[in-house]
Amino acid sequence: MEFGICFKGDMAPKRTLRLAQRAEELGFTSGWAFDSHILWKDCYTMLTYLATNTEKMHWGTLVTNPAVRDVHVTASILATLDILSNGRAECGIGRGDSSLRMQGKRPRKVAEMEQAIKDIRNLTAGEKVILDDYEFELVWSDGRPVPMWMAAYGPKSLAAAGRTADGLVLQIGDPFLVDWFVRQMRQGAADSGRDPSEIKVMSCAPTWVGDMETARVQTRWFPAMVGNHVADLVERYHGGELPQAFTDYIKDRKGYDYKDHADKDADHLDFISDEIVDRFSILGDKAEHIAKLKELEAAGVDLFVMYLMSGDEEEQLDAYEEIVKAFQ
């Protein structure tokens, strides 16, 4: 299993770069950035800065969406990043959460996201694509299709990831639930005639090496953020399609202020139990981290991405040196 880090865009750029370079020294193979341009710094500007000041790590969005920018704009930016980084660009894409909701808009449909994956991949590869009855082609592309990772939780999006994506993004660190999501995706791949083993799986979650009381305080924001996606799914699925362990915890959810999105000090965290925090994140001492990460690996995870945004980022990143080595 490989390791990556993800930033949300609130840190000073120079500090972000120092953390990225340290992660590369520790053996992390990829870095990622949230795409929510109203809440935080523009992800593509930051990704270019990070990619051109590192040597080996791949860099991508985690995640963008099909609506904030035209698909051909997204493809052009990614193809440019890929050239500047000598083939180290990646793209994670989802239906859209904070980026759209901060504009008063709803997430896009699964079919729109699936088509965007196809179009962006083809455009970055230098192929011709028809968008709104007009033919587009990035004639300057170096011909490498940027790998496309699709964020998914629900049955329809998981099946779509199996049909279309190069990788699956699972924003959760619970081995039981990851196993369920991976099986759904792989069935979608098999049903469409693809080899399920060709699709990579990414698990993303905050981490905290240290005592559990502090760990829970620092990472309680994460299940609240995931709860937005769960609430959307519960609206659409009422027949038991989703695992109960995934949906029960949002019953006491009273609201979510997107101005405090992914904020550990937000006021909308009181409905999250300690049990859910423990399940969704990677917490405890180093041995406990290694044990849970091995469970995730057994569930099908190829890449674990640390959400480096819970405080004490330098110390928490350094604490992973021994953990990363345990998987090399």
Question: What pLDDT score does 258 carry?
Answer: 64
The helix-helix angle for 13-26 and 43-51 (nearest 10°) equals 50
Question: What pLDDT score does 234 carry?
Answer: 79
DSSP structural state of residue 258: G
Q: Are 116 and 73 in contact (CB under 8 A)?
A: no
Question: What pLDDT score does 203 carry?
Answer: 98
Percentage helix, strand, coil, to 5, in the chain?
A: 45, 15, 35
DSSP structural state of residue 66: S
Intervals of the chain under pLDDT 70: 96-108, 238-239, 256-262
The region that residue 104 occupies, defined by phi over 0 for left and psi between -120 and 50 for alpha, beta otherwise, is left
Residues 171-180: tens digit of each pLDDT: 999 999 999 9
Measured over the CA atoms of residue 27, residue 161, residue 172 and residue 61, the dihedral's sign is: positive
List of residues 6+ apart from 162 with CB closer than 8 A: 168, 184, 185, 186, 187, 188, 189, 190, 191, 192, 194, 196, 199
List of residues 6+ apart from 6 with CB closer than 8 A: 31, 32, 33, 34, 62, 204, 305, 306, 307, 308, 309
Question: pTM score, two decimals?
Answer: 0.94
What 194-200 contacts at long range (C-beta under 8 Å, 24+ apart), as own/partner pairs, is: 194/162, 194/163, 196/162, 199/161, 199/162, 199/165, 199/166, 199/167, 199/168, 200/149, 200/166, 200/167, 200/168, 200/302, 200/303
How far is CA 225 from its chain centroid? 12
Range list of β-strands (E), the chain: 2-7, 30-33, 58-64, 89-93, 129-131, 134-136, 148-151, 167-170, 200-209, 282-284, 303-307
Give the three-state DSSP class for 237.
coil
List of residues 6+ apart from 165 with CB closer than 8 A: 117, 148, 149, 150, 199
Phi and psi (nearest 5°) for 246? -90, -30
Residues 31-89: tens digit of each pLDDT: 999 998 888 999 999 999 999 999 999 999 999 999 889 999 999 999 999 999 999 99
Measured over the CA atoms of residue 217, residue 222, residue 223 and residue 225, the dihedral's sign is: positive
Paired with 201 in beta bridges are 168
Q: Could you tell me which of 86, 88, 292 has the C-alpha nearest to residue 174?
A: 292
Residue-range domain boundaries for the chain: 2-325
Question: What pLDDT score does 99 carry?
Answer: 55
Question: What pLDDT score does 228 carry?
Answer: 74
Question: What pLDDT score does 263 carry?
Answer: 76
Q: Are 299 and 26 in contact (CB under 8 A)?
A: no
The domain 2-325 is placed in CATH, from the list 3.30.1950.10, 3.30.450.20, 3.20.20.30, 3.30.9.10, at: 3.20.20.30
